[in-house]
Amino acid sequence: MKDTDLYSRILGLSDPWFVADVELDTAGGRVDVHVDHVAGVRWRCPTCGRELACRDHAEPRVWRHLDTCQFKTFLHARIPRVECPEHGVLQVRVPWAEAKGRFTLLMERLIIDVLRECATVSGTCRLMRISWDEAWNVMDRAVRRGQTRKKTTAARYLGIDEKAFRKGHDYMTVVCDLLGGTVEFVAQDRKTESLEDYYRQFTAQQLERIRAVAMDMWEPYFKATIKHVPDAAHKIVHDRFHIMQHVGQAVDKVRRQEHRELLRQEDERLKGTKYIWLYREENLPDKHRPTLEALKATNLKVAKAWAMKESLAGLWNYLSVGWAKRFMKRWLTWVRKSDLPPMRKVGEMLSRHLDNILTFCRHRITNGAAEGLNSKIMAIKRRACGYRNREHFKTAIYFFCGGLDLYPRQA
């Protein structure tokens, strides 16, 4: 078999395209495959599909293809141009690459696979023997391709959370599909406008599809959702993990205050007990149980705060909003009458947001999927040793967490 026939079959070429020549540069470690077409062919306009005669050819192009053994392989061709009466002069589509692509379809698919497995651009560059710019360009094109293909429709259950871009209160807003486990939208900052940009892309009918939205008690997110989502007051669910986190922080504040007071009396009972009070009782490691039982038996303030935290966890077992509301009223009264300012403060906050805490009884969703994606995003950031460019960070999030159809398709 001739080398030209071999590469024609490898590339999957058919009329009117054929391999005209193959050059092997052993010293340079490369194979150059020259592709041509038969004369007199009528070509389709890439926009409307009308068959037209060849007007002329664009400048010769080069595409990187899958390696031939240890040799880099490059495809060379001149792309015909047609003059469409409706769309003007355009290059026709070629079967081995996308428009403006620098790699063949097969090579680009392989780069995407390696990027997903390595999770770093630099690692992909080493394995694929390409430059950083080339690898990033493939990632960027894949994300734009995937977003173009994605249906413009709102997810039924949304999770909204913030993600730190860098230190110093520099945040991004991340919107997730809780059922699909994918990142749907990433916006700069965590303002009302940040989330509104997500809602504005949908029609009123599409927004009605949203059944529930899980979020923390951050006011800008609440305002944006109330403004755009129909009947949002009954759909917003303040995330139980964030609520318990706030209560846990209040317990820890009580512990720290009391620990300082005890140290003045040379009492070190609370030394090293921080995480004992933050565990749920059923999750506490066995080695810490004797310490907890001994401290619970004392009249410590932190023991009272811990009891309040553990009691609040019972809220999430209620299925009836009415019974859950009665429970919360009793709990809030207990907290309000306590001599623990941090617990009273967190109780006031929960009281202000009570209606949308109780919506959990109807929808029973949490931001657990969003927190899982947050961990994945943190891992992406850590592997890359951070991102200086916010848009690059967003592209990486969509690439690894967006659930997009990233691969190029044959024309």
**Structure confidence by residue, pLDDT tens digits, 196-232:** 999 999 999 999 999 999 999 999 999 999 999 999 9
Residue 1 has pLDDT above 60, yes or no: no
Distance CA 24, CA 98 (A): 26
Distance CA 245, CA 167 (A): 21
- In this prediction, residue 26 carries a pLDDT of 93
**Structure confidence by residue, pLDDT tens digits, 314-334:** 999 999 999 999 999 999 999
pTM (two decimals): 0.87
**Structure confidence by residue, pLDDT tens digits, 43-53:** 999 999 999 99
- In this prediction, residue 61 carries a pLDDT of 95
**Structure confidence by residue, pLDDT tens digits, 370-386:** 888 888 888 888 888 87
Dig out the tokens for 151 from the structure. 């249906």
- pLDDT, averaged across the chain: 93
CA atoms within 13 Å, Cβ hemisphere of 174: 30
**Strand, coil or helix: 152:** coil
